[in-house]
Amino acid sequence: MVNILVTGATQGIGKAIANELKDLGTIYATGRNVEHLRIYSNYCVCDLAKDVETLESYVKDKKIDVLINNAGEYIYGAIDKMTDSQIQEIFEVNLLAPVKLIAKASENMKKKKWGRIINIGSISGIMGEANASLYSSTKSGLVGLTRALALELASYNITVNTVNPGWVDTEMGQTSAELSEFFKDEIIETIPQRRFVQPEEIAKLVRYLISDDAKGITGQSINLCAGLSVGI
| Distance from C-alpha of 99 to C-alpha of 148, rounded to nearest angstrom | 12
Contact of 168 with 80, CB cutoff 8 Å = no
- What phi, psi does 229 have (nearest 5°)? -75, -15
Catalytic annotation present for 135: yes
Of 28, 58, 74, 135, which one is the catalytic site residue?
135
Q: What angle, 0 to 180 degrees and rounded to 10, lies between the N-to-C axes of helices 52-61 and 97-112? A: 10
Query: Would you name the residues annotated as active-site residues?
Result: 135
